Amino acid sequence: MHDSVRTASDLRALLGGDAVLTEAEDLVRYESGWRYGKGRALLAARPGTTGEVSKLMAYCQAHGIRVMPQGANTGLVGASNPDASGQMLVLSLERLNKRLEIDPVNRTAVVDGGLLLSALNGALSAHGLMFPIDLGADPTIGGMIATNTGGTRLLKYGDVRHNLQGVEVVLADGTVVDALNHLRKNNTGLDLKQLFVGTSGVYGVITGAVLQVVPVPRQQAVALVGCVSGEAVLALMQVLERELADVFTAYEVISANALIPVFTHHDDIRNPYGTGRPPAYTALVELSSTLPEEALNLPEVLEERLGAFLEGDAGEGVTDVFMGRPEDFWAIRHHISESLRSEGKVLAFDISVPRSRMAAFTEAAVALLAKDYPFVRACDFGHWGDGGTHLNLVWKEAESSRPAAVLVEELQARIYELAVRGFDGSYSAEHGVGPHNQRFYDTYTPEPVKGVNHALKQHLDPGNLLGTTRLA
């Protein structure tokens, strides 16, 4: 057992008095995640420089103190929260947020790991630039790297991995690894940064990064397209990619079951379908471009292309086309999750399958529910353009004969088995592993992959001090 009083005293001497929090009321926000994850921290330490992170990790290694690196704590799988032992130190990067160096010619930004996405984009906007990972949350850059964040515009820009040029990492023993590469072309061996992307901080604490940034689009065009089936959704996507790939930015797909609650619980959001029931799916199509409107009128292009699609054979799968303001249509998409929570118990899945199999997977999941869980509704929505879907299952607990905890465990096992074994998919498209998904990582990860992860963990963190996610 670690003496929290002695540890706090030592760390205040290393980091400064206000860098260490020990009172229960101060620790609450570090101990619980947005959706999953609730633990108890030994204390929270908030270093302000990479050097201070190094000193902190060296101290923890010397004293055998386990550490939970934490950014903005916006993750959805419990990977940024301490366990229940009360013996894990939370290493918050919230004060490691001062470095922000923008090179508009190189189109890069060098940032601290604790810098918030909103602060980065606020600074980039003065140069007409942005970091193109679009999220509902406001995470830190270090957290985004640790989870390989995707977002709604992955179709156009890729995930964090695709927009990362270099990292600075502090290892478990306090060693600082400076791999802050500013080069777009650097074929000189191992791309070290990729070892730390998407691994939940269990190999090292990400204290800095070099990011690729992109020009802010001058114009957008958005449409909602009603589709009678998942196959119609895929047919429309293929045509849009073939004809508009240069400006095709996002393709979000919302089932009727996920769409109706938005209009039920938000009177301020206009329902384009009026009083009628929406079709099986509604696709949110976004085009964007840095060209001015006089060079390329995106709304006209989108309207013309959708009109041509309607006139073809595949157009029979489309019921409606609505053109409108981007902010109005995106508001529909961004209010789905909270609206579903007003409908009953929600079990949220973050699944990916090959895009060509998305419609078939969804049909199979709905059939499984209809057969064995008729009181459960599939309210699916998400990034069909990159093969991801948030398959949210909703039910009234009074209609279930089993406790929610029992039903959740059973549904998780069956849906993930269907996705992974039945459709060559993943149980975590973008949220990561973390304690919430640990048993599925253990079940579905091939042993040779676990072996490689074990070797890396033994080399980088032999004392197993970092994080709670087990990749070995």
The tens digit of pLDDT for each residue in 96-135 reads 999 999 999 999 999 999 999 999 999 999 999 999 998 8
Determine the distance from the C-alpha atom of residue 195 to the mean position of all C-alpha atoms in its chain, rounded to a whole number. 18
In terms of domains, do 209 and 229 share one?
no
In terms of domains, do 112 and 187 share one?
yes
Please give the structure tokens belonging to residue 83: 């366990």
pLDDT at 136 over 90: no
Answer whether residue 437 is part of any domain: no
Instruction: For residue 250, give its domain range.
Output: 219-331
Chain-wide mean pLDDT for the chain?
A: 95
| Torsion sign across C-alpha atoms 269, 272, 273, 274 | positive
Answer whether residue 438 is part of any domain: no
In terms of domains, do 108 and 210 share one?
yes
pLDDT in tens, 373-392: 999 999 999 999 999 999 99
In terms of domains, do 77 and 106 share one?
no
Sequence-distant (≥ 6) Cβ neighbours of residue 106 within 8 angstroms:
182
Q: Which of 112-126, 246-260, 399-413 has the lowest mean pLDDT?
A: 399-413
pLDDT in tens, 173-198: 999 999 999 999 999 989 999 999 99
Which of these three, 159, 186, 215, is where a domain ends? 215
In terms of domains, do 154 and 193 share one?
yes
Strands (E), 291-373: 318-324, 345-352
In terms of domains, do 199 and 227 share one?
no
Judged by DSSP in three states, 292 sits in coil
pLDDT band for 427, please (50, 70, 90 cuts): very high
What's 385's DSSP letter? Answer: G
pLDDT at 36 over 80: no
* Number of domains forming the structure of the chain: 4
Which pLDDT belongs to residue 235? 96
How confident is the model over 227-234, as a mean pLDDT? Answer: 97
In terms of domains, do 211 and 108 share one?
yes
Task: For Cα atoms 14, 16, 18, give the angle at the middle one, nearest 5 degrees.
Answer: 140
Q: How far apart are CA 38 and CA 248, in angstroms?
A: 40
Which pLDDT belongs to residue 135? 86
In terms of domains, do 113 and 200 share one?
yes
User: Around Cβ 31, how many Cβ atoms within 10 Å?
Assistant: 22
